[in-house]
Every structure is written in C-alpha cells, then in structure tokens.
Homo-oligomer: A and B are copies of this chain.
Amino acid sequence: MPITITDVAARAGVSSATVSRVLQGSPRVSRAALERVQAAIAELEYRPSGVARSLRSQQTGTLGLIVTNITNPFYPEIVRGAEDAAQRMGASIILCNAAEDPEREIAYLDLLLERRVDGVIVAAGGLTQRHEDFLSAFPSPLVLVNAALPGGQVPAVLSDDEGGGRAAAAHVLELGHTRLVHISGPAVREAVSLRLDGVRAAIAAADADVTLEVVEGDGYLAGGLAAREVAGRLRPPYAIIAHNDLTAVGAMHALFDLGIRVPDEVSVIGFDDIALAAFTNPGLTTIAQDKYAMGHLAVETIARLRSGEAVKGDQVLPVRLIVRGSTGPAH
C-alpha cells in the first residue's frame, strides 16, 4: 500500500493541505513547513497518486494512440514522434495495437474513453464506415494520422500523397522511362488514389509518349508480388512505381527470383522510406514521408484542441524524393 499525502502530513506535522501546497509549488507556505514537508516526502519516498489527481483535476495526462499494426515498419517512427511530443508536455501514451482488425480499433476507442484519456490519435490505414460514424461523434480531442474523414470534420495529419506520386513518376520519367507500372494499394484508401493522381499528373506534364499500367496490390509485401505477373508479359526497360515501400520490396523480390536485374533492367521506386528501404540491395529509391513529424504534429494538435483552439482541415506534410540504387536510366 503506497504512502499517501496523509502519511506525509502526519510525518511533517502539518495538514494534508499544506503538503498539497508544497506539491503544487505554492508560495503560501512557510519556510519551516516547506522544509519539513520536503523532508517527509523524501524519507517516505512519497509519490503522489496520479489516479487521485486525475479524478480531482479531470485530466489524466494520458493520450491514446491507436495504430493499425505496430510491426508494420511504417508505424514505429510515428509512435516515436508522438511519444517524444507527449513526453515533452508531461503526458504518457497508451499504445493500442489494432493488429489490422478494424473491430479492435473501435473497441479500443471505447476503452480509451473509459480511461478518460485527454485525447486520441488514430494512425490507421483504412477507415471503414463504422469508423466514420464512431469517429465523427467522438467526444474527446481526436486527430487522425495518415487518413482523413470526408468533410474534414476531424483534424488529420497527412503527407502530400499527390505530390509524392508526382515526384515518383517525374523521377523515373527523367531517367528516360516511358513505360510505367503502378502497383497501387487497396482502392478504398484515399492515399492510394491521390498517389495515382500524382503519377498521372506527372505523366500529363511530361508531354511525352508514356504508357501507364495500374495493377492493384494490397499495400503489403504480397501486393508487390504482382510484379511477377507483370514481368511475364512486359519486356524491360520499364519502371515500377509502388504504392509504398513494402510493395516495392515485394516487387524487387519477385524480380530477383526471375533473374531480372534492378535497376539495370527494371527500375523500382517506393513510398514511405521505412527503415528497411536503406538496406535492401540495391537500396530502394523512394518518396520519404516524415513519419516522426507526423506523430509529433498529431500530439501537438491534440494539445491545441485541448486549449480550445479550433483546428480545422488537414495538415499536409511535404514528402521528398530519396534516390538510392533501385532506379536507373532506361536502356
């Protein structure tokens, strides 16, 4: 049974109110009392109960962070950014790993409400209709990362998917590629169509004779395996623009299996810049999202929301092209 404020008060020969004042750093405490209280706190190794404080103050100093899948290498950086920002403002993060299960995501939302968290961040890939219903009526500060709700009712932190798609296509176009294959993610996600839009925009802007083929992947390694089927009927050179790095890595593997050389025969470019991307062989050229900043900004946005500020619309972070070894000139 931990020490309570009453124990400290007794030990210091004061009332609990005085101990509380010391805890709050109130100036209305005599020097003598202050010292005795501090001594008592130290001797008893007293630690005020966060639970009791939360009940009194109606705030827990706790933020909920729901991620689709913590073992997806896209998320740990976001978590780190969020955690750093939270720590800076004296808050803790309750991490909820939805393990790719939308129902579990919603169950966690409920749980976090019961825990009276000061805010919730949802870093989820795809949002279902049930999410929308639940989230748009969420009774607590809420920020979405990497996904948005129609109408912009809920503040969201996003990357510039359209610009990223454009940059990816422009890069391979510049290398002289005229045949592009886009392995997309699941069509329901908004980022998927935005990236594709970007690719199309870059092609349109190039006013050269360029073909684009789109095959739908799943956003994971498996989706990249579509490259096998593509390689069966397309003769190099061509460039594969993957929806994300996992897809790109899957595609590279399929290509290696077939003995097709990257980038000599086929160029591959990804999206996200997960840690893995720097360590494939060749290194993966990709469009980097600033994942750390996304997590950080999400927490800061919660703070702004809590201070009564009306944060409206999406906050879009810039992306940038990182050229490694997986893209090369078409020949």
Interface set of A (CB-CB < 8 Å, partner B): 1-2, 47-52, 54-55, 58, 60, 62, 65, 70-71, 73, 75-77, 79-80, 83-84, 87, 92-97, 99, 104, 110-111, 113-116, 139, 249, 252-253, 256, 275-276, 279-281
User: Contact: A99 with B80, CB < 8 Å?
Assistant: yes
User: Contact: A99 with B115, CB < 8 Å?
Assistant: no
User: Contact: A94 with B96, CB < 8 Å?
Assistant: no
- The answer, among B51, B96, B253, for a CB contact under 8 Å with A279, is B253
List, in ascending order, chain B residues with CB within 8 A of A80's CB.
70-71, 97, 99
Given the contacts A113-B47, A276-B276, A279-B249, A83 and B71 also touching, CB distance less than 8 Å: no
8 interchain residue pairs of minimum CB distance: A281-B281, A95-B95, A50-B115, A83-B97, A50-B114, A51-B54, A71-B76, A70-B76
User: Contact: B94 with A92, CB < 8 Å?
Assistant: yes
List, in ascending order, chain B residues with CB within 8 A of A62's CB.
94, 115
User: Contact: B50 with A52, CB < 8 Å?
Assistant: no
List, in ascending order, chain B residues with CB within 8 A of A99's CB.
80, 84
Nearest chain B CB to A117 CB, angstrom units: 9
Closest chain B residue to A292, Cβ basis: B71
User: Contact: B94 with A111, CB < 8 Å?
Assistant: no
Nearest chain B CB to A42 CB, angstrom units: 14
List, in ascending order, chain B residues with CB within 8 A of A95's CB.
65, 79, 83, 93-95
